[in-house]
Amino acid sequence: MMRNDTDDRTDTGISQVSAISAASGGFGAAMVNALAHSPHSLSPKYFYDEQGSALFDRICEQPEYYPTRTELGLLSAHAADIARHIGADAEIVEFGAGSARKIRFLLDAIEPPLRYLPVDISGPHLRAAAARLQRDYPRFDIQPVVGDYTGTWQLPPRKHRGGRRIGFFPGSTIGNFSPDEALHFLQRAAHGILRGGALLVGADLVKDPAILHAAYNDARGMTAAFNLNVLARAGRDLGADFDLSQFAHSAFYNAPLQRIEMHLVSRRAQQVRVCGRTFGLAEGETLHTENSYKFTIESLRALASRAGFRPGPVWTDPQNLFSLHWLQAPA
C-alpha cells in the first residue's frame, strides 16, 4: 500500500507544486495526484513530451505493432472514397496529430482550398511535423495548434463560411478514453466544433489476445521505453528522483473489460520525491499509465450514435484487425 509522507505538505511544498505544474502544463499536479491516491493512475497524455513522441514513432515501426501499418493501409486503399465524403472546401482538424504521417493520404486525395489544423500536446514535435508537411504541400494552409484536445478546445475561427469541418482522429486514440470519457469527447465533437461536419475515427478491433499482447510487449522494448519515459520526464521536468531501473513495464489484455492495460511496477519497496513531496511505493505496486480499449464495429457505431453522430461507411482490413469509421455530425 502506498504511503504518503504528509510531513512534507508545507506551504512551501504546495507552492512548489503549483509553480512546477504551471511550467509543465499540469504534469506536476497530475503526477502528485497520481501518487497521492490509490490505485495510482496517470493520464496517457503525459507520455507525449518530445522524447515520448519520438519513442512512439519508433513503436509504430515495430513488426508486432500492427495498428499503424494496418491503418495506413486502409487510408491508402480508401483515400479516394474518403475524399468524396470530405467534399470540397472543407477544413480538417486532426486530434493528436503527432508526426502528421497519416493525414498525407487524405491531402493527396483532396483539392485545395483547405485548411488543416493539426492539434497535439507536444509542441516541438508538432511544429516540426507541420513544417515538414508545409514544405511538401505548399498550396495548403497548415496551422498547427498546440493544445490538449481532452480539455477545452480552442481553435482558430472557421476560415471558410461555406466549408465543413471534418475531424480526423486516427490511431484508435479513442480507446485511451474510458467509456464515459469517449462518449463525452464524441458528444462535444458532434454538437460543438464538428457540428454540420463529420468525424473520421480509427478504432482498433477486438481480436486474439496473443496479437494484442505482442503489440504492447515488442521484442525490442520500444513500448517499455515509452512507458518508462513518463518517469524520466518527471525527472527532467519536475526534478523527481525516480530510479528507472527499479520499475518494470507491464502490459496485458484485460479480457472482461476488452482493454489493454499498461502499468509501471515498483520492483521493490521504495520512496520517491516529486515536486518537494515524498511518496512510498510497496514492492509490486503499480502506476497505471494507459488503457487501450478495443471495439467491435457494432460497439463503436453504437457509441457514436449515443453521442449524436449518424454512423456512415466503415472500412476494415481483410483480417479485421482495425477499422475506420465515417461519422456524420448533426446539422
For residue 40, how far is the Cα from the chain centroid?
A: 19
* Closest among 316, 320, 289 to 74, alpha carbons compared: 316
86/194 same-domain check? yes
Q: Say whether both 154 and 299 belong to one domain.
A: yes
* Any domain includes 47: no
CA-to-CA distance for 104 and 83, rounded, in angstroms? 12
pLDDT of residue 18: 38
- Whether residue 59 is contained in a domain is answered as no
User: What's residue 155's pLDDT?
Assistant: 83
* 123 and 178 part of one domain: yes
The verdict on residue 50 lying in a domain is: no
The CATH number of whichever domain residue 97 belongs to comes to 3.40.50.150
- Count the Cβ atoms, other than its own, within 10 Å of residue 149: 23
Within this chain, do residues 270 and 147 fall inside the same structural domain, yes or no?
A: no
286 and 161 together in one domain: no
- Residue 61 domain-assigned (yes or no): no
Q: Does one domain contain both 313 and 169?
A: yes
Q: Are 159 and 181 within one domain?
A: yes
Whats the size of the chain, residue-wise? 331
What domain range is 106 assigned to?
66-207+294-328
CB atoms near residue 187 (< 10 Å)? 14
Residue 184 lies in a domain: yes
Long-range contacts of 1-6 (CB under 8 A, 24+ apart): 1/38, 1/282, 1/285, 2/35, 2/38, 2/40, 2/279, 2/280, 2/281, 2/282, 2/285, 3/279, 3/280, 4/35, 4/36, 4/277, 4/279, 4/280, 5/271, 5/277, 5/278, 5/279, 5/280
pLDDT at site 4: 34
Residue 212 lies in a domain: no
Contact by Cβ (8 Å): 260, 212:
yes
Q: Does 133 fall in a domain?
A: yes
Whether residue 168 sits in one domain with residue 241: no
Do 286 and 316 belong to one domain? Answer: no
Q: What letter represents residue 185's amino acid?
A: F
Q: What is the pLDDT of residue 87?
A: 92
> Is residue 176 domain-shared with residue 29, that is, in the same domain?
no
Q: What is the number of domains present in the chain?
A: 2
The reply to whether 98 falls in a domain is yes
pLDDT at 5: 34
101 in the same domain as 154: yes
Task: Clarify whether residues 101 and 245 are in a common domain.
Answer: no
Nearest Cα to 239, choosing from 4, 12, 21, 36?
A: 21
Model confidence, pTM:
0.88
Cα 3 → chain centroid: 30
- Tens-digit pLDDT string for the chain (331 aa): 222 333 332 333 333 333 333 444 599 999 999 999 999 999 999 999 999 999 999 999 999 999 999 999 999 999 999 999 999 889 999 999 988 999 999 999 998 778 999 999 888 989 999 999 999 999 999 999 998 888 777 788 777 666 799 999 999 999 999 999 999 999 999 999 999 999 999 999 999 999 999 999 999 999 999 999 999 999 999 999 999 999 999 999 999 999 999 999 999 999 999 999 999 999 999 999 999 999 999 999 999 999 999 999 999 999 999 999 999 999 9
